[in-house]
Amino acid sequence: MDPRFRILPRPKGFSSSISLLIRAEKTPDTCQNIQPGVEPINIFQFVKFKEQRIVNFNDYLHDFPNVHVLDLFQQICITADVKHCQNEKCQAIRREMINAPACEWKCFRDWALVTMSCQMNSKTQGLDLESWKWAEIAHNLSIVATFTRRDKMLAANVDLFQVHELINWMVTINSHLHPSFEPHSPLRTHITKQKIVEATQTAQKVGICQNRLWNLTVGGGEREEVDLPILMAVVEKHSTQFMKHRGYEDHGICTAGVCCFNNIDNTRVKQLHKCSTKDCEELLHFPLSELERPYERFTWWIDDIENTKNIPYIATEKSQGQYMAISHVWSDGTGGGIQGEGLVNRCLFKYFQGIAKELRCTAIWWDTICIPVERATRQNAISRMHENFEEAAHTIIHDQYLVQFPWTDDSRPCLALLLSPWFTRAWTALELMMSRKGKVSVVYRHPNDPGRYIIKNLDKDILALHPAYSSRSHWIASTLVSQLRGQRIDCIGDILKILKTRSTSWPRDLMVVAGLLAGHNPKVNTPGFIAQITRDIVLGLVEIEESFLYHGHTTMTEKMGFSWCPFSLLDGDILTNTDRPERVYVDEDGAVSGNWDYRILDKEDAVNVRPYSFHISVDWKIRVALEQWESCLLLRNTHNRKGLALLVVPLDVAKCEIGGIEYVVLDCQYIGTVYTTNLRWGDSYSASVRLGKLSKHPTLSAEEITNRYYDTKGCRIYGRPWEDQLHSIKQARKQYSDRVATSNHHSF
């Protein structure tokens, strides 16, 4: 038998005091667990002989359906033969792991710390962990965890949530050590349910908006709501601090889905004073007319302002010197206010000036005084807003909620950032994502002196550096911030998960931000700009989620290109992590092609199929089409679990070219989305379908056309055959749209 294999004996009964580690020699030169040339144990290779043959690990688990999960953990840990390594380096690493999750089952925590510290040490010695496989030990434990049975939960007097958290800690370290490792840690809802209820209660008590809380789970991590208890435990522990700094907004009636402070117009909030008297000398006047030169963008020079007569600033082109861009929310009074264009409280400007100087910047970019007023130049400035943060030497995050939050060296400042108004705005999300070249810092309250501020660097001071040494709450909070910061836009869902949880003072600005996120410069002036941005984004992505087609809204056009597409991108749904996103291809004219399961309708189906719609005209369109049920076809995706299908009318069989290859497709007219839960789907057939390319009246029944499709020879679309060419198609489209944009630019 392979020496790495271990025979897992029958579990012997759980006892929290049994040591899971094997005694080892004192102070050895090398790690006792991971050594060059010695293959470690992989739990997947744990086997047992059953009726003369080797059975796999899952079978083993199924053999003991009534054994307590902790009993299984215990047996696995013991069989893994982990030595209580006394190597100096391994021990030193272990001593640093003070923030590892607490656990009442102390022996398991000891075991987890030894496995992780030895593994970290082997990493520093350059041992190839990929071949060691030992890393997967935690992963496998998390699979065992899925066998946790509800009725066995309370038996052992150990908090299973803690055990799971320790396993998750291990899994996170593993995926940090080698990014190819895919974390997989399903937690049974019966373990987490009560903890999540408690988390929402803590939020309620402390005055944290329920909507803000739940938004953290949208597109956050793999584990979604499971992380909330970890984060809220910190808030609970320091509740007075989080309560004291909740600010001036009362989020008591907000729900998980709705925050009452979203979409409030914050542009007319009175401007903030930083001085104690709240009425410092006369206002500073920034002549915004100086900015009204198209295609040049300005910052305000602030260096040595005391020397230059009474004018503390000069409009300067951005290329001159390093400037600081301010990322802020208008709701706290750092916006324009109501005192007139270009007029700013002297103390507020001096405050920002002081910060800029501390960061060694000679100029400031602050939207309040850097966006021209005249219509055309203003629109141009807004459509290129992101560049101000892209080019900044330093981006400073200023939010009065954070400014009043005292700095500490733990997870609290990062958690405060997640719960701040700043994190709920769409513009600021864009600003963070664009600040990739420069440094990013946040203003907090000085830990010892409430009257002073302290500037902290996002990457070096605020975010956790390593999952092995930081607390779980710190790591989770940091991951949520860095995920936003590093988010790539590869599909519609990437945009939706940023914007559907965020707000702007004007609803239409959400679409402007959507355009900027996807790298398009939206022309905000035109009445049809929402549809235009939607088209630009969809065409630019080349492939989109198939799920985007099941929207129930009115479509952008009645026929041909985009006749399947909602008017606004934001009408699309966010997928949850359990959804499997299939992709479809969008051609340059807005026709969409992919592979679907289809079904022909019969007379009764017309009654059983129900419209899924958010507008009466959509409903009507579906009912009219179903009257001609012989002409209709239902399309669905095998992975669609919501019982929805697309109702289409097949028109013809055609050839379609994608990435240089010709495919046979069924050209169809998109009608709408329908519920098929009352329908027996029956046998499944699949077809390559294109929507939005052809417009005519159907002359044949759906059955006749699908037969013709079957008789036509040629390639069919399976999966994503365009995948290899995706990048070059995207490039070509981008070049084309840039050319169009430039030619429009000159006629502006």
Interface residues with Zn ion (CB under 5 A) are 31, 33, 85, 87, 90, 118, 209, 211, 251, 254, 259, 273, 275, 280, 345, 347
Contact assessment for residue 84 and residue 21, using Cβ atoms and an 8 Å cutoff: yes
Query: What's the CA angle centered on 189, arms 187 and 192, to 5 degrees?
Result: 80
For Zn ion, give the closer residue by CB, 153 or 260: 260
- Smallest distance, Zn ion to C-beta of residue 585, A: 40
- Smallest distance, Zn ion to C-beta of residue 178, A: 18
106-124 vs 136-145: helix crossing angle, rounded to 10: 150
Contacts of 162 (CB under 8 A, 6+ apart): 101, 102, 103, 104, 105
Q: What is the 3-state secondary structure (H, E, C) of 181-233?
A: CCCCCCCCHHHHHHHHHHHHHHHHHHCCCHHHHHHCCCCCCCCHHHHHHHHHH
- Smallest distance, Zn ion to C-beta of residue 6, A: 19
Q: How far apart are CA 31 and CA 198, in angstroms?
A: 42
* Residue positions counted in the chain: 748
For Zn ion, give the closer residue by CB, 152 or 273: 273
Which residue type is seen at 268?
A: R
Helices (H) and strands (E) in the chain, counts: 26, 20
CA of 560: how far to CAs of 251, 379, 737, in Å?
46, 31, 20
Q: How far apart are CA 363 and CA 83, in angstroms?
A: 59
For Zn ion, give the closer residue by CB, 335 or 692: 335
CA of 46: how far to CAs of 34, 42, 118, 186, in Å?
18, 7, 21, 21
- Smallest distance, Zn ion to C-beta of residue 505, A: 16
Beta bridge partners of 593: 585, 690
Q: How far apart are CA 349 and CA 352, in angstroms?
A: 5
- Smallest distance, Zn ion to C-beta of residue 361, A: 22
- Smallest distance, Zn ion to C-beta of residue 97, A: 13
Contact assessment for residue 8 and residue 75, using Cβ atoms and an 8 Å cutoff: yes
Q: DSSP alpha helices (H): ranges in 246-385? A: 346-358, 367-370, 375-383
State how beta strands 323-328 and 394-398 pair. parallel
For Zn ion, give the closer residue by CB, 35 or 686: 35
Q: How far apart are CA 570 and CA 495, in angstroms?
A: 9
- Smallest distance, Zn ion to C-beta of residue 247, A: 11
The two three-digit tokens of residue 665, written as one number: 């497709």
For Zn ion, give the closer residue by CB, 135 or 658: 135
- Smallest distance, Zn ion to C-beta of residue 114, A: 7
Q: How far apart are CA 477 and CA 423, in angstroms?
A: 12
CA 152 to chain centre: 35
Contacts of 507 (CB under 8 A, 6+ apart): 263
- Smallest distance, Zn ion to C-beta of residue 123, A: 12
User: What does DSSP assign to residue 460?
Assistant: I
For Zn ion, give the closer residue by CB, 272 or 414: 272
- Smallest distance, Zn ion to C-beta of residue 591, A: 42
Q: How far apart are CA 167 and CA 198, in angstroms?
A: 22
Q: How far apart are CA 18 and CA 75, in angstroms?
A: 10
For Zn ion, give the closer residue by CB, 37 or 682: 37
Which residue type is seen at 688?
A: S
Contacts of 304 (CB under 8 A, 6+ apart): none
Structural Rg of the chain based on CA atoms: 30
For Zn ion, give the closer residue by CB, 235 or 517: 235
- Smallest distance, Zn ion to C-beta of residue 403, A: 15
Contact assessment for residue 426 and residue 513, using Cβ atoms and an 8 Å cutoff: yes
Element (H, E) at 597: strand 592-600
- Smallest distance, Zn ion to C-beta of residue 280, A: 3
Q: Phi/psi of residue 327, each to 5°?
A: -105, 110
- Smallest distance, Zn ion to C-beta of residue 226, A: 22
- Smallest distance, Zn ion to C-beta of residue 141, A: 19
Q: Which residue has the tokens 């979604």?
A: 224
For Zn ion, give the closer residue by CB, 223 or 328: 328
For Zn ion, give the closer residue by CB, 33 or 532: 33
For Zn ion, give the closer residue by CB, 31 or 575: 31
- Smallest distance, Zn ion to C-beta of residue 599, A: 44
For Zn ion, give the closer residue by CB, 283 or 726: 283
For Zn ion, give the closer residue by CB, 102 or 258: 258
Cβ count within 10 A of residue 33: 27
